Structure 1
Amino acid sequence: MLFYGKRIRLRKLSNEDVSIYHKWRNDIEVMQFTNPSLDVFSYDDTEKFVNSITESHNSKGYMIEEVKTGKTIGVTSLINIDYGNRNAECIIDIGDKDYWGDGFGRESFKLLLDFAFNELNLHKVYLRVFSFNDRAIKLYKNLGFAEEGKLKEQLYRDGAWHDINFMGLLKRNYKE
């Protein structure tokens, strides 16, 4: 399944994506914004993680590709999909740092949210974001997400404690 935007497309995550995802997953600069532990993962760990998404009935994982070049630049997913209560957690990682700050994350996330609300008919999507990730928080707020709570001083980075913020977006508040 492919979803197209102006500059990117989302295609289903597959086992063939393990090597590129493994590279991003072990890049501290990439994971400092999304991985609480900053652990180094073995290839086997990454393969099991990708399989957990691709083989699960309550997860939808997509690789982000630039349309112009076909280059894979990131990953976005709906996880923990609760079909009965019509909600899911969403995640995004732009793994290729050359694509940071140019709106590729926004375009990718909008495609994922369009799918979540218009195809899966979810009522709500939610996420976790580190309090120091100002760029992501700004994006989420611009899309209509609101802060719902936080885990105070849950994360230690660069000699300081940081919160993990929980944000949610109801379908009726989504700014398409």
Structure 2
Amino acid sequence: MTLTGDLVHLRALEPEDADAFWRWHHDPEAMRWMTTSYPESLAQLRKRFVDLPPNSYERCSFAITTTAESRLIGCVVLRDATPEVGRATLDIYLGEKDTWNKGYATEALRLLCRWAFNDMRLTAIELTVVADNDPARHLYRKLGFVEEGRRRESFRRDGQLHDAIIMSLLAREFID
């Protein structure tokens, strides 16, 4: 299954996508507001991509590729979905900086939210974003996400503590 828009396609992650992710993980600007982990070799990351579990209701990961040239530019994930309450957590990551602020993330999230609310029958999608990440917060608000709360000093970057904002989008609030 591929979700297709004017700018992007969302498709399943493939093992060969690992090399791009490894490059992005070593770009401080691309990783600025991401939760970092321990260093990982390219071989380790490739193995992790080979061993990825299949997409399911509980966790569904999509590669974001450009419609024009099928270039991998990022990923979007719905995780921790529970059918009992119909909620999932959203993560998005654009690693290719030349695609930032050009509508790719907006369209990727619209495609994903439409699919999640219609096909997965979710009632809400939630996310956490660093309070100082203004471009991301603007994007989420544009799609209808609202701020629900704040975790004070819960993200550390460059020796500084930052607040995290908890946001959610109800199916009936989605701006498509």
TM-score, structure 2 as length reference? 0.90
In the alignment, what sits opposite 1:19? 19
Name which of structure 1's ranges 42-51 and 24-33 shifts more when overlaid on structure 2: 42-51
In the alignment, what sits opposite 2:99? 99
Relative to structure 1, the CA distance from residue 28 to residue 40 in structure 2 (aligned partners, 3 Å threshold; closer, same or farther) is farther
In the alignment, what sits opposite 2:162? 162
Q: CA deviation at 1:58?
A: 1.3
In the alignment, what sits opposite 2:90? 90
Q: CA deviation at 1:149?
A: 1.4
RMSD of Structure 2 on Structure 1 (CA):
1.9
Relative to structure 1, the CA distance from residue 165 to residue 50 in structure 2 (aligned partners, 3 Å threshold; closer, same or farther) is farther
Deviations, residues 101-150 of structure 1 (Å, cap 9, x unaligned): 11111011111101110111100000010111100001101111111112
Deviating beyond 6 angstroms after TM superposition, the runs of 4 or more aligned structure 1 residues are: none
Q: CA deviation at 1:15?
A: 2.2
Q: CA deviation at 1:54?
A: 3.6
Relative to structure 1, the CA distance from residue 119 to residue 91 in structure 2 (aligned partners, 3 Å threshold; closer, same or farther) is same
Distance in 1 separating the partners of 2:166 and 2:65: 27
Q: How does 1:9-158 map to 2 (within 5 A)?
A: 9-35=9-35, 37=36, 39-43=38-42, 44-45=44-45, 47-48=47-48, 51-52=51-52, 54=54, 58-158=58-158
The number of aligned residues is: 175
Distance in 2 separating the partners of 1:104 and 1:136: 12
Q: Structure 1 vs Structure 2: percent identity of aligned residues?
A: 32
Relative to structure 1, the CA distance from residue 167 to residue 90 in structure 2 (aligned partners, 3 Å threshold; closer, same or farther) is same
Distance in 2 separating the partners of 1:56 and 1:19: 24
Distance in 2 separating the partners of 1:156 and 1:77: 23
2:26 counterpart letter in structure 1: N
Relative to structure 1, the CA distance from residue 47 to residue 32 in structure 2 (aligned partners, 3 Å threshold; closer, same or farther) is farther
Deviations, residues 44-74 of structure 1 (Å, cap 9, x unaligned): 2564377455466511111111111111111
1:164 counterpart letter in structure 2: A
SS in structure 2 at match of 1:163: strand
Relative to structure 1, the CA distance from residue 45 to residue 71 in structure 2 (aligned partners, 3 Å threshold; closer, same or farther) is closer
2:14 counterpart letter in structure 1: S
More helix by share: 1
